[in-house]
Amino acid sequence: MTDTALRPDQLYQRCDPQDLDFDTTAELTPLDGFMGQQRAVDALQFGIGMRHKGYNLFVLGPSGMGKHALVRREVERRAAEEKVPADWCYVFNFDDMHRPRALRLPPGQGVELQRDSEQLIRDLGDAIVGVFESDEYRTRVQSMHEALEEQQEQAFSEIQQHAEEKDIALLRTPTGITLAPLQKGKPLGPQEFHKLPEEDRKRIEQDITALQEDLRRVLHQLPLWKKRTDEQVEALNHELASTAIAHLFEVLAEKYAELEPVTAHLQQVQADVIEHYRAFLPDQDNKPALLGLQLQRNEGPPWQRRYQVNLLLAHDRDGGAPVVYEDLPSYNNLVGRVEHRANMGALETDFTLVRAGALHRANGGYLVLDALKLLLQPFAWDGLKRALQAGEIRIESLGQITSLISTLSLEPEPIPLTVKVVLIGDRRIYYLLSMLDPELDTLFKVAVDFEDRFERDAESTHLYARLIASLVQQERLRPFDRAGVARIVEQGARLAEDNQRLSGHMRSLADLAREADYWAGQHGRAQVGAAEVQRAIDAQIGRADRIRRRIQEEIERGTILIDIDGSQVGQVNGLAVIALGGFRFGHPSRITARTRLGDGEVLDIEREAKLGGPIHSKGVLILQGFLSGRYVPQHPLSLSASLVFEQSYGGVEGDSASSAELYALLSSLAQTPIRQDLAVTGSVNQQGQIQAIGGVNEKIEGFFDICAARGLTGTQGVIIPSANVKHLMLRQDVVEAVAQGRFSVHAVSSVDQGIALLTGLPAGQRDADGGFPPDSLNGRVEARLIGYAERLQALAAARNGRLSDQAPNDAPHQAPALGRRGSGGEETPS
């Protein structure tokens, strides 16, 4: 039998402190960059430098790899070399108040324009009020009114003069102006008038009629004269208002002469101010009233907001391109929003309430988003895609997009978008999104894939040390001596689950260094050594291993049935791994198999109970293929078998127990007991080869802890795939137990090697005649399967004979039924 036991030096790949060329990390140059990520750095630099549409970046890799730090470093370095983007602001649209206009300004001038607009509003009020309260204005208006009064008086005087020449009086009464004949300077009454000669009466009546026509003509002219005068006053008002504010706008027009959109807006503002100059004049009666009470406006009159500038985005002239990290990438936080204010119980809005989103702030620069957070926000992913595809930022409310709200709202003018978006997420999100959304490859053409591990050699070990030196310098930790660095290197290999590789999970290593520094401080050490690093590792495990301890306690108390000595037929100790958060641990599970005569089915009880995952189910089906291919080639596979994880009440997934299940099945068929002091892990293929599995270190340690708790006998051990030897980085207590001969780790590459270890019988190979040796385990298995097949054939022959005796001669031919399943689950003849 081939020796499968592993040597202690195969169980743990040490990092010899003597191989390190420094005493402490204080002697090392801190690492300026990221180790082992050159491919990701090259992809990131390419994506940042590529300026064509669609070359946004998706940075993928496990959390804790330093993705954010690398993206921040590269993006900010590149952004500092780029030009500062333009400022953007929204102003009132005098043609359509519901569509605010967007103004683009050179960097830094947005703040100036906003400041100038605020000063302009104050100056406009002072200038207009001042001119309309001046003596000159009062004099000119008064002269216009006096001219009107003089014209009116002159017209009436002329009529009165004509009336006096004809002995007719022009009388002003409360009901109006009337005409009456005079006699000796006194008005005649009706009786006296009728006593006059007819000829005099007719003459007077004719004169009065003529005077009435003149009076009617004058009265008709009075409103026209009043209107003309009012127009003259209004023209004067506009003239004075224009004169009063002209110099204010001339200064601004000269300042912003090179910005045509700004000067055009200022011209519209100037025209609107002249048109609505009265809004600047004091008017106490213009305040709103509620229940008879005058209300004060808290935010100034509406005209003040009308001429304001809503500075949406401002930049420092010397700041470089913006780099924006949006932690909550909701739809509104990305594309902006229009806010509302409450006024007398109603909501109102205007262009001053338009707010910028992350796309506005990052416009002309870089926007960094967490992919998972983005996808969790309703409509955020669609909103981002729409903005990138259109090349513009259009602020729309979710109510408008979903057509849930039809009320009139603002529609701000879209702003052109030029931005480089960097999404950061794990690989599952990237591949799932690329499968479900074909637009991902159109908009995010550059995938920056981080390595999660890299080769372990002298160079990478030195880079690990420099990485620790960087952390020591940045966070003012105690220096690490060479033994402490060596222990972190070994832990890096453990995290990588490979003694020939090192983990790229920078967060775990940084946390370990920080915690080791803490324990060094607790013990009053000036340097951090291997003991402090190990103390930190033990403390991390101790904080997370409550469930592991509970399972071990229940195994020790006999609640969970696990045998670690003796032998049993059809029973084997399989090994499983449980992951709880960031902590993983292994524990043994009893796997049993039962076999009998049947139709070739291997029943997976876990699958039937819907507790087995698809990969585990696949592993069981592979067992069935292995049995069919190896044994009884001349006979049908005539067994019925059942496999189960005993005392398993949760889900079972993965194929790492398929070899253990096969061993239990072979033991049951051969009726040969399996050693219970050996635990098994490894997957198997249809050719009987044992394949690598994950979590090998945790699985070995899980069985070791159970054996150690009950007492190590020297015969206990674990069987693993040979392909997993390079992954071994076991705890020192396990390595020491193996070195002392109290525990063993075996590596096998085939089912035959494993079953020979577990049963003590040789597996056996087919001879020249095609048969297995009778005393071999394979010979026993095949003999049992041949017996099943012959028994099934005999039952079928007997059944066919009974059917022939009972059937009439002219009965049609019927194909014999092989059997039916009885109520007890046994195969019985039909």
Residue 298 CA: distances (Å) to CA of 341, 343, 634: 12, 10, 98
Q: How far apart are CA 389 and CA 444, in angstroms?
A: 11
639 shares its domain with 561: yes
Look at residue 818 and tell me if it is in a domain.
Answer: no
Q: What pLDDT sits at residue 165?
A: 67
Q: How far apart are CA 773 and CA 765, in angstroms?
A: 7
Look at residue 105 and tell me if it is in a domain.
Answer: no
- Count Cα atoms within 13 angstroms, Cβ side, for 412: 30
Residue 6 CA: distances (Å) to CA of 408, 668, 707, 738: 78, 28, 18, 9
Per-10-residue mean pLDDT, the chain, length 830: 86 94 92 82 92 94 87 92 93 91 92 92 87 84 83 75 68 67 67 70 74 75 82 84 88 91 92 86 57 46 80 86 94 91 81 92 95 94 95 85 66 94 94 93 94 90 91 93 95 94 90 96 94 96 94 94 95 94 92 92 88 90 91 88 91 90 95 96 95 96 96 96 96 96 96 95 91 93 92 86 61 38 35
The sign of the CA dihedral 307, 308, 310, 315 is positive
Structure-token match 């899980």, residue found: 702
Structure-token match 């043994």, residue found: 588
The sign of the CA dihedral 555, 561, 567, 570 is negative
Look at residue 510 and tell me if it is in a domain.
Answer: yes
683 shares its domain with 739: yes
Q: What pLDDT sits at residue 495?
A: 93
Q: Tell me 93's DSSP state.
A: -
Spatial contact of 567 and 672, defined as CB atoms under 8 Å apart: no
Q: What pLDDT sits at residue 350?
A: 85
Q: How far apart are CA 732 and CA 740, in angstroms?
A: 12
- Count Cα atoms within 13 angstroms, Cβ side, for 542: 6
Q: Which long-range contacts (CB under 8 A, 24 or more apart) does 170-174 make?
A: 170/211, 170/215
442 shares its domain with 479: no
The answer to whether residue 656 is catalytic is yes
Q: At 774, is the secondary structure helix, strand, or coil? A: coil
Spatial contact of 674 and 635, defined as CB atoms under 8 Å apart: no
Look at residue 63 and tell me if it is in a domain.
Answer: yes
Q: How far apart are CA 622 and CA 641, in angstroms?
A: 14
- Count Cα atoms within 13 angstroms, Cβ side, for 195: 6
531 shares its domain with 554: no
Q: What pLDDT sits at residue 191?
A: 67
396 shares its domain with 484: no
Domain count for the chain, please give it.
Answer: 4
Burial class (CB in 10 A: 0-12, 13-18, 19+), 740: exposed
Phi, psi of 102 (to 5 degrees): -100, 130
Q: What pLDDT sits at residue 209?
A: 77
194 shares its domain with 63: no
Instruction: Record the pTM.
Output: 0.80
Structure-token match 């509620």, residue found: 290
One-character DSSP codes across 608-667: HTT-B-HHHHHHHHHHHHHHHHHS-TTS---EEEEEEETT--S-B--STTHHHHHHHHHH
CATH number at residue 73: 3.40.50.300
136 shares its domain with 189: yes
Comparing C-alpha atoms, which of 82, 766, 58 is closest to residue 370?
58
Spatial contact of 227 and 144, defined as CB atoms under 8 Å apart: no
Comparing C-alpha atoms, which of 606, 608, 592 is closest to residue 649?
606
Structure tokens belonging to residue 514: 């920080």
Query: Radius of gyration (Cα) for the chain, nearest Å?
Result: 49
Phi, psi of 528 (to 5 degrees): -100, 125
Burial class (CB in 10 A: 0-12, 13-18, 19+), 545: middle
Helix, strand, coil percentages in the chain from 3-state DSSP, rounded to 5: 50, 20, 35
Q: HEC states along 359-417? A: HHHHCCCEEEEEHHHHHHCCCHHHHHHHHHHHCEECCCCHHHHCCCCCCCCCCCCCEEC
**Angle in degrees, CA 799, 801, 805, rounded to 5:** 120
Q: What pLDDT sits at residue 826?
A: 37
327 shares its domain with 236: no
CATH number at residue 471: 1.10.8.60
One-character DSSP codes across 198-259: HHHHHHHHHHHHHHHHHHHHHHHHHHHHHHHHHHHHHHHHHHHHHHHHHHHHHHHHHHTTT-
Look at residue 123 and tell me if it is in a domain.
Answer: no
- The residue out of 520, 543, 566 marking a domain boundary is 543
Comparing C-alpha atoms, which of 106, 116, 86, 108 is closest to residue 307?
116
Q: For residue 505, what are the domain limits?
A: 18-36+459-543
- The residue out of 485, 512, 543 marking a domain boundary is 543
Q: One of 330, 656, 744, 776 is an active-site residue; which one? A: 656
Look at residue 809 and tell me if it is in a domain.
Answer: no
Burial class (CB in 10 A: 0-12, 13-18, 19+), 765: exposed
Per DSSP, the chain holds a count of helices (H) and strands (E) of 27, 34
The answer to whether residue 202 is catalytic is no
Look at residue 98 and tell me if it is in a domain.
Answer: no
Q: One of 67, 330, 668, 699 is an active-site residue; which one? A: 699
Look at residue 583 and tell me if it is in a domain.
Answer: yes
Cα 827 from chain centroid (whole Å) = 57
Structure-token match 């569509």, residue found: 99
CATH number at residue 758: 3.30.230.10
334 shares its domain with 269: no
Comparing C-alpha atoms, which of 304, 298, 305, 303 is closest to residue 344?
298
Structure tokens belonging to residue 452: 């999660």
Q: What pLDDT sits at residue 156?
A: 73
Structure tokens belonging to residue 697: 């270190």
Q: How far apart are CA 700 and CA 575, in angstroms?
A: 8
Q: How far apart are CA 34 and CA 44, in angstroms?
A: 13
Residue 796 CA: distances (Å) to CA of 303, 312, 802, 817, 818: 102, 88, 10, 8, 6
514 shares its domain with 554: no
Q: What pLDDT sits at residue 811?
A: 42
Q: What pLDDT sits at residue 741?
A: 95
Cα 179 from chain centroid (whole Å) = 92
27 shares its domain with 62: no
723 shares its domain with 593: yes
Q: At 179, is the secondary structure helix, strand, or coil? A: strand
